[in-house]
């Protein structure tokens, strides 16, 4: 969704007190791997609540212990989650806690250490992707190259309704993604100061994948 002037919408920055509190503890270098995983899961659940706010509903008749009534349920097939490997998997658990029936796809990308460009090595997507809301998850929007490449591949496979969700972002990453995909909204918990000479987010939280999986 874009504005009437075909300009990208401004990023959606989630500033709920619980999100801000948990993100602060996630950033701490003293936070253990177990704590980092728990906080990431909790944050992803809170983010999923916002990312699915406008999912369509359909009426359904149900019977309570007292009487029959008209209720509402999600109209499907609609939502699916797409994880940008490997760190994106850290955001999936909380989202699947909230929407356990949602299909999940994966896009495997790695960043070339010299060019900082994204290189694809894996792609596996749900069926009916053209008719689904695709919530694409990756903890970090740093340079924006990986996210832009992932969204390009998803569009090539038929995806039409996309939302990019991340924990941290930078002005550079947002500008890159909006230039490549002005029709894709960005939802983030924080827009950090920027990138250092190695392409890491500052102040950031370190390498999300390494902290999630206890690797170096």
User: What pLDDT, in 10s, does the model give residues 181-207?
Assistant: 999 999 999 999 999 988 899 999 999
Nearest to 34 by CA among 46, 26, 43, 24: 26
The neighbour count for residue 178, using CB atoms within 10 Å, is 21
* Residue 75: band (very low, low, confident or very high) from pLDDT cuts 50, 70, 90: confident
120 membership: H or E segment, kind and range: strand 118-124
CA distance 69 to 66: 10
Q: How much is the pLDDT for 2?
A: 42
Query: Looking at the DSSP assignment, which residues form a beta bridge with residue 166?
Result: 188
pLDDT digit string, tens, across residues 82-134 = 999 989 999 998 999 999 999 999 999 877 777 767 788 999 999 999 999 99
The CATH number given to 13-52+76-198 is 3.40.50.2020
Q: How much is the pLDDT for 126?
A: 94
Please report, for the chain, the start and end positions of each structural domain, with discontinuous segments joined by +.
Answer: 13-52+76-198
Q: Provide DSSP, 169-185.
A: E-HHHHHHHHHH-TTS-
Binding-site positions read: 86, 111, 138-146, 201, 206-208
Nearest to 8 by CA among 202, 191, 175: 175
pLDDT digit string, tens, across residues 128-167 = 999 999 999 999 999 998 899 999 999 999 999 999 999 9
Q: How much is the pLDDT for 211?
A: 93
- Mean pLDDT throughout 49-77? 93
Binding-site positions for 5-phospho-alpha-D-ribose 1-diphosphate read: 86, 111, 138-146, 207
* Residue 5: band (very low, low, confident or very high) from pLDDT cuts 50, 70, 90: low
210 membership: H or E segment, kind and range: helix 208-213
Q: Tokens at residue 104, please?
A: 């999940």
Query: Looking at the DSSP assignment, which residues form a beta bridge with residue 61?
Result: 70
Q: How much is the pLDDT for 76?
A: 76
Residue pair 192/203 in contact (Cβ under 8 Å)? The answer is yes
Higher pLDDT, 119 or 59: 59
Q: How much is the pLDDT for 118?
A: 72
DSSP E strands in 6-92: the ranges are 12-13, 57-63, 68-74, 79-85
- Mean pLDDT throughout 77-83? 91
CA distance 35 to 38: 5
Q: How much is the pLDDT for 7?
A: 81
Binding-site positions for uracil read: 201, 206-208
Q: How much is the pLDDT for 116?
A: 64
């Amino acid at each position: 969704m874009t504005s009437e002037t075909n300009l990208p919408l401004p990023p959606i920055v989630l500033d709920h007190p619980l999100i801000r509190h948990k993100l602060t503890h996630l950033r701490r270098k003293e936070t253990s791997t177990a704590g980092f995983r728990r906080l990431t899961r909790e944050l992803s659940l809170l983010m999923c609540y916002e990312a699915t706010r406008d999912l369509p509903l359909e009426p359904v008749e149900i019977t309570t212990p007292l009487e029959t009534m008209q209720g509402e349920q999600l109209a499907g097939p609609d939502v699916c989650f797409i994880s940008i490997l490997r760190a994106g998997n850290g955001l999936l658990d909380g989202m699947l806690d909230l929407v356990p029936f949602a299909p999940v796809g994966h896009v495997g990308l790695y960043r070339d250490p010299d060019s900082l460009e994204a290189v694809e090595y894996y792609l596996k997507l749900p069926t009916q992707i053209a008719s689904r809301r695709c919530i694409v998850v990756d903890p970090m929007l740093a340079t924006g190259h990986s996210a832009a490449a992932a969204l390009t591949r998803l569009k090539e496979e038929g995806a039409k309704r996309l939302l990019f969700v991340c924990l941290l972002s930078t002005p550079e990453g947002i500008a890159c993604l909006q230039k490549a995909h002005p029709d894709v909204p960005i939802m983030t918990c924080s827009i950090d100061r920027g990138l250092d000479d190695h392409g890491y987010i500052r102040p950031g939280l370190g390498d999300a994948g390494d902290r999630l999986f206890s690797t170096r």
